[in-house]
Chains A and B, each alone.
Chain A
């Protein structure tokens, strides 16, 4: 049995939940700091691990998209600051013409002097959000959304169709974009710029939505959501316990990340919530008839990956609790960010999955094929085939 399980793990890659936990820890760490160097390091670690361990599946190419999205976030954050933000004192870069607002709009300002400090601060805040997005993108490229869904406990099947459909929506949109762009080129319509974007939005959404509906009907036709009959009380107990448990868990996570707005850092919420969710799952597990083909297993590599994520988050939480200098970027006085030792070492621990996670099985074969393909393409002219 154990041999079969280990081969299963080797062939199927890491448990998707492990990737998501690791990425969530990295994102949690990013929220704790505004030091741009640490943030950049976190993004670099995420990108490195993705490049080392992603498969050839279509969703594995989504990281670039999230990097771009991150850039947009930073730009938007800075522009909003320049136009509407708080007027921080400091080195004035330029002045935006001010718009006088009526008295009831007190506290909102449009225009005014823009200082270097204000721009820097908003850029770093944007960067922090961008890094969180990159972590999310890393999880997306490393773990298959469908396999993650398979790990969902039975009670969540009520929402399962919705979740699968929405998970499939993003890759569907990406593919629809390619098809629609080709089609627009064939129709002689612009494919770039604002005009291209505007014309593409509707057909892309239309075809992606269409496909989502087909997916839902296909899931139904293939037996998704069949269940054995249970009495009403059990069903209510299961749903109630899971729903309230999930709410408590969410509150708890918020408390842990926010640090201080809930009693005892939100840990009790997390604990009670987890117990309730567990009860709900146990009760409802009896309702469905589902079995698993090649269940995802949780073994040493999974522990190592999650452990490395936890170490990163732990390092950052400890550093901010200890008040280590350099965790936050200070703009008064304006100074270059430092590189505090503890969190820097913690970030580097985040690289562990690049080695600890099993390499995707296809990688070697694919590489060999690429080399062969290149050689054929690059063959000098006149060589016999």
Chain B
């Protein structure tokens, strides 16, 4: 279905090729997973399939990419639209129309499909992705997860033979992600659609993949093979595979079900080990409080009488569905808007009433897209301007940056950084004035495993230094690794608030893979298991 023949691609102005001598064949009806670190060329590989690379990006492509017998050399993306559907990383950026139904019909309109068939397919797609209640909502008014589903539906409705998805679940909550992946598998199995997808959160997609393409980056050859074989050698691996490496399981199990079948001996071996303990529970000196907080956006009530106290040294994970009010809560604590009802206090002050200058000494918020905080011409300039504007000694932001991510090149433009590097710069800028309260909104979106590991270390260190960290996240593995406390929001109300280990272990949706495999034992992460087994940390 898809053939790469000796494809080499170099971006304009780049020294080295992003893809070099790539040979790849994807058969019809295959679900092919593309993995690799950030910046390794996954997105380039995906976008080459329908010709967006190089027709839209520029650069030099040699060799040939053929889809369903059509070469991207002779066919620009629009001529391939009936064969390949592409969903990009940022769903909102791919929208062309304004309401859900129009968006679903757009590709079909361009392909000239008969109106009656179009009506039927729009209805089918609405049902398939559970969008029927949103059918005439404006696209811009949807939550991130809803937008992602619409973006997938918009290419699905034209029933292409190949579906290309770049991180389709990174913006979704665990339940919505499973829903999307389940519908993808259904398409592969029932319709024989070929799916190529890239994803950082491997734990979500590994069980569904037929084959894995590992993009090592720096122009090294691809590693292609059956999922289990590639996972055994891959530098990026989901917790379940890490657990298999620690426990020495062979072949590597890919789903929780497979893992539980072989996990019996491991469960017994660690049953007697002292249960893992995270930071002491209870006594945190209070930093911020939210009392009976209600926020309404026009007609929608985003937060409904929320009460929450957080203290120094705590790492609080705020979880919940897309659109359940997590970002709103963080925005309120950061004083972006005044509450409609109720009180927000940070060290006794109402953050919404403070001047920006005073605010940053009190609360730091890193938004979902950390790049929003950065407008300097280079990393160095960004640090210097942060020092100047916050009245800090010159060099202090740079020092924080070195602590967060050593060896960051100072002359790079923030836009050219990888997701993890951008997050590091944003964190440095926010942390430099030493706010006692740090808010992180979906910090692991688009982050690869090494980036995530660095974030975990940093958050632990901050908490040890007495900073209160509150993070909204869909990433159950991150929550399992750092959170001391978990708060679950639903429809703007707090439905659950307690010690992270108890909250996530008891939820089928929020439980991390290790907990699912080892239940009822209360282990959350591979590191904890490693400790319990007495295996030296990070043996690799």
Contacts and interface: CB of A to CB of B under 8 A. Distances in A.
Nearest to B429: A187
B356 A224 contact: no
Contacts of B158: 222-223
Interface in B287-336: 292, 294, 296, 298-301, 304-305, 331, 334-336
B299 A217 contact: no
Interface in B511-532: none
Interface in B40-96: 50, 52, 55-56, 76-79, 81-82, 85-86, 88, 90, 93-96
B140 A58 contact: yes
A224 B430 contact: no
B111 A223 contact: yes
Contacts of B305: 376, 385
Interface in B107-163: 107-115, 118-119, 122, 136, 138, 140-141, 154-155, 158
A220 B334 CA distance: 40
B405 interface: no
Contact of A189 (B119, B335, B340, B356): B356
B373 A293 contact: no
Contact residues on A (Cβ < 8 Å of other chain), bracket: 35 or more
B367 A182 contact: yes
A377 B372 contact: no
B389 interface: yes
Contact of A183 (B77, B138, B155, B372): B372
B173 interface: no
A222 B110 contact: yes
A218 interface: yes
B365 A219 contact: no
Contact of B136 (A58, A218, A361): A361
Contact of A220 (B77, B101, B105, B106): B77
Nearest to A187: B373
Given A58-B140, A219-B96, A369 B88 contact: no
Interface string A272-290: 0000000000000000111
A226 interface: yes
B292 A293 contact: no
A265 interface: no
A223 B78 contact: yes
B367 A171 contact: no
Contacts of A219: 96
B364 interface: yes
Contacts of A218: 88, 93-96
A373 B297 CA distance: 10
B98 A57 contact: yes
Contact of B356 (A144, A184, A373, A385): A184
A385 B495 CA distance: 13
Which of A175, A186, A225, A369 has the largest number of chain B CB atoms within 10 A? Answer: A186
Q: How large is the interface on B (under 10, 10 to 19, 20 to 34, 35 or more residues)?
A: 35 or more
Contacts of A187: 356, 360, 373, 386, 389, 429
A175 B140 contact: yes
Contacts of B93: 211, 214-215, 218
B8 interface: no
A186 B364 contact: yes
B281 to A, nearest CB: 27
A58 B390 contact: no
Contact of A190 (B292, B335, B356, B430): B356
A356 to B, nearest CB: 22
Contacts, number: 186
Given A214-B88, A293-B101, A293-B109, A220 B76 contact: yes
Contacts of B365: 186
Nearest to B154: A222
Interface string B359-401: 1110011010000110100000000001001100000000000
Nearest to B135: A11
A203 to B, nearest CB: 5
Contacts of B359: 185-186, 188
Nearest to A176: B372
B372 A221 contact: no
Contact of A188 (B113, B118, B122, B357): B357
A36 B472 CA distance: 54
Interface string A368-383: 0110011011100100
B108 A291 contact: yes
B433 interface: yes
B97 interface: yes
A320 interface: no
A294 interface: yes
Contacts of A190: 356
A377 B154 contact: no
Given A180-B372, A189-B356, A366 B98 contact: no
Contact of B101 (A185, A199, A294): A294
A221 B160 CA distance: 12
Most B CB within 10 A of own CB, among A57, A199, A378: A57
B465 interface: no
B28 interface: no
A232 to B, nearest CB: 20
B341 interface: yes
19 contacts: A57-B99, A58-B141, A59-B98, A146-B96, A146-B97, A185-B335, A189-B356, A211-B93, A214-B93, A215-B95, A218-B95, A221-B77, A222-B96, A222-B107, A223-B111, A289-B112, A293-B102, A367-B299, A377-B301
Interface of A: 11, 55-59, 144-147, 164, 171, 175, 179-180, 182-191, 199, 202-203, 206, 211, 214-226, 288-295, 361-362, 366-367, 369-370, 373-374, 376-378, 381, 385
Given A190-B356, A225-B78, A370-B299, 5 more contacts: A57-B141, A184-B356, A221-B78, A226-B79, A292-B109
